[in-house]
Amino acid sequence: MSTLLPRPPAPRKSPSAGSMAPPRCPAGLALLLLLLGACGFFQSYAVEVDVKDASNFTCLYAQWMMKFLIKYETNSSDYKNASLDLTSTVTHNGSICGSDTQAALLAVQFGDGHSWSINFTKNNETYRAEFITFTYNTNDTAVFPDARRQGPVTIVVKDAMHPIQLNNVFVCHHTTSLEAENVTQIFWNVTMQPFVQNGTISKKESRCYADTPTAAPTVLPTVANVTTASTTISPAPTTAPKPAENPVTGNYSLKTGNKTCLLATVGLQLNISQDKPLLLNIDPKTTHADGTCGNASATLKLNDGNRTLIDFTFIVNASASVQKFYLREVNVTLLNYQNGSVILSADNNNLSKWDASLGNSYMCRKEQTLEINENLQVHTFNLWVQPFLVKENKFSIAEECFADSDLNFLIPVAVGMALGFLIILVFISYIIGRRKSRTGYQSV
């Protein structure tokens, strides 16, 4: 289970002696940063923002943790993955209380030119988040070494939060993520309330779906917790254990407007050799598909319950005499479900797999292995994919992998050999019968 944050203290009260909460600012906007320590490959900071109105009453309150995973292009035309976390120094310029006619805005700035903001609107009964704006600065060479594009890059994402009853505080301790334009934004331990009434944070909570008892979190297996419903860890350092069953085959698709632009059917299994061997099946029932479609490239992003993020990037080889597509890159990120820390992040952007003529699909029923790095492999089962030129929401003609075509070839060969062997037996029996007949005739 996730560790729950304590209820945020009412802004009018001062912390008692020995409390972990720092003292609040007497007026304006109080931004409190609490160092929580290292998590995975990052140091994570909890941010607490208390926006006050002209009468020095709280009008917007928020406490949360977040980090960012960003893929960027280098000067050598390859791609690298950067991780960006909140620093110990954060400012809050531009935050706004909001009103019946003006949106509330929560804005923070951190690091070397990075910023993040979210705006809220309301009606007579509810409020909701509208857009999240994130700007990262590739001039920050400590985070983006050798970046080809220099300067700030801004992305805007429409938030998917459902309307919340006014005077309720929104709480979500589980990890959630948003993906857009090569950026994954990860949030956890979120407590937010815009349009606070009477300067007092509400005691009524509206929980996110992941926090409800019917959707209790599942902790990603670690060295200390090495058993899942379908996976058992063996201490053997060289041989990875096999789950009881192969992964369930999932059906995924992407759309541009109302038109399907990518289709994929596949069972996925991760073979992790870091620390101790682990085989992890991806569950289609908890996996959400997102991504982008294009004329020359397409990316399928799979998110298994905010624990496993897998990206498949396909490109079109236009230089060949016959245009073909193939799998160019796979990126895998494993997150700790409890605190959002990154357990493992790996990618291989130099693949040349799953190729087929443009307009056709690629199929491979037999198990295949994608080598991501020395610590991670991705196994695929019952694969059928078409990332370009999908028509009528259906797969086009399938070009089968060598393993499947080899199997299809061996079956008729085996049947032919069996028939040939049978013919030889009949012929030998006939010769033996003829000889016996002649011997009997001569003896008479």
Contact indicator for 340, 86 with CB cutoff of 8 Å: no
What pLDDT is recorded for position 358? 93
What pLDDT is recorded for position 404? 56
What pLDDT is recorded for position 339? 60
C-alpha distances (whole Å) from 420 to each of 411, 413, 427 are 14, 10, 11
CA distance 315 to 298: 7
CA distance 136 to 132: 13
Local confidence pLDDT in tens for the 444 residues of the chain: 223 333 333 333 333 322 223 333 333 333 333 323 333 333 456 888 999 999 999 999 999 989 999 999 999 888 898 999 887 788 888 899 998 888 999 999 999 999 999 999 998 889 999 889 999 999 999 999 999 999 999 988 887 678 899 999 999 988 888 888 889 998 888 999 999 999 999 999 998 877 765 433 333 333 333 323 233 333 333 444 555 588 999 999 999 888 999 999 999 999 988 767 888 999 999 899 988 898 999 999 998 887 889 999 999 987 767 899 999 999 998 887 666 667 888 899 899 999 999 999 999 999 999 999 988 999 999 999 999 999 999 999 999 987 655 445 455 556 677 777 778 877 787 777 766 665 554 554
> What's the pTM value of the predicted model, to 2 decimals?
0.49
What pLDDT is recorded for position 21? 33
Task: Quickly tell me which residue has 């009949």 as its tokens.
Answer: 426
What pLDDT is recorded for position 415? 65
**Interacting residues of 428 by C-beta distance below 8 A, sequence separation 6+:** none
